[in-house]
Amino acid sequence: MQVRELKVAGAWEITPKQFGDDRGVFLEWFKAETFTALTGHPLDLQQANMSVSAAGVLRGIHFADVPPGQAKYVTCPRGAVLDIVVDVRVGSPTFGQWDSVLLDDVDRRAIYLSEGLGHAFCSLEDGSTVTYLCSTGYAPEREHGIHPLDPTVAIEWPTTARDGSALEFELSAKDLAAPSLEEAAAAGILPSYEASLAYLPPSQV
């Protein structure tokens, strides 16, 4: 595996080595040893999720209260998505900044987002399938969102699909009603950087 640290502390891109022949391909998309060396702790897997999205679907920006937060190890076994990590931790040196990783069925990368980070993606192809390994289970009372088109965050969303056609964004009613980053901060629902430090490796604290 090749690992690249993203510009938001607590997020990494993981690119697996693939072994292919006439029968198909094999790869290891998660390794506990590599993960623990990277993050300083094992993945406490509590739930595994899957979503299937049409081209243009935007999901997020989603985050959870810290503690306990919800870390996510995400990959796209079918199709393609532009996956986004947003630093929503109040007090973080990179608060409000974002980074992206292309997850698709070619390079078969994964992204890991530590507790306290915001997560979103845009589907680039009909039927794009995303799988998530999560450190906590679904708890709606602890989960929140920020509007993915918030101009303050200013995510550079793709405008063309994988086949070159124009993308038309589609959001859920919940994501359309989500507050801006400034509104979420004023409402006191954003996690703090101080609380999130407990989930970062010593090298990033």
Helix (H) or strand (E) segment spanning residue 46 = none
Has 199 been annotated as catalytic? no
Catalytic residue among 73, 132, 144, 199: 132
- Which member of 41, 62, 144, 147 is catalytic? 62
pLDDT digits (tens, 9 = 90+) for 140-154: 999 999 999 999 999
3-state SS of the chain: helix, strand, coil percent to 5?
Answer: 15, 40, 45
pLDDT tens digits, 40-75:
999 999 999 999 999 999 999 999 999 999 999 999
Give the chain's domain count.
1
Question: Which residue range forms the structural domain that includes residue 62?
Answer: 2-204
CA 97 to CA 85: how far, in whole Å? 9
Surface-to-core class of residue 103, CB atoms within 10 Å of its CB (0-12 exposed, 13-18 middle, 19+ buried):
buried
Q: Which residues contact 161 (CB under 8 A, 6 or more apart)?
A: 55, 56, 124, 125, 167
Is 147 noted as a catalytic residue in this protein? no
Domain of residue 43, CATH code: 2.60.120.10
Splitting the chain (205 residues) into consecutive groups of 10 residues, what average pLDDT does each group show?
A: 95 97 96 94 96 98 97 98 98 98 98 98 98 96 98 98 97 98 98 94 78
Instruction: Identify the pLDDT of residue 205.
Output: 67
Q: Which residue from 203, 200, 193, 167 is spatially nearest to 63, judged by alpha carbons?
A: 193
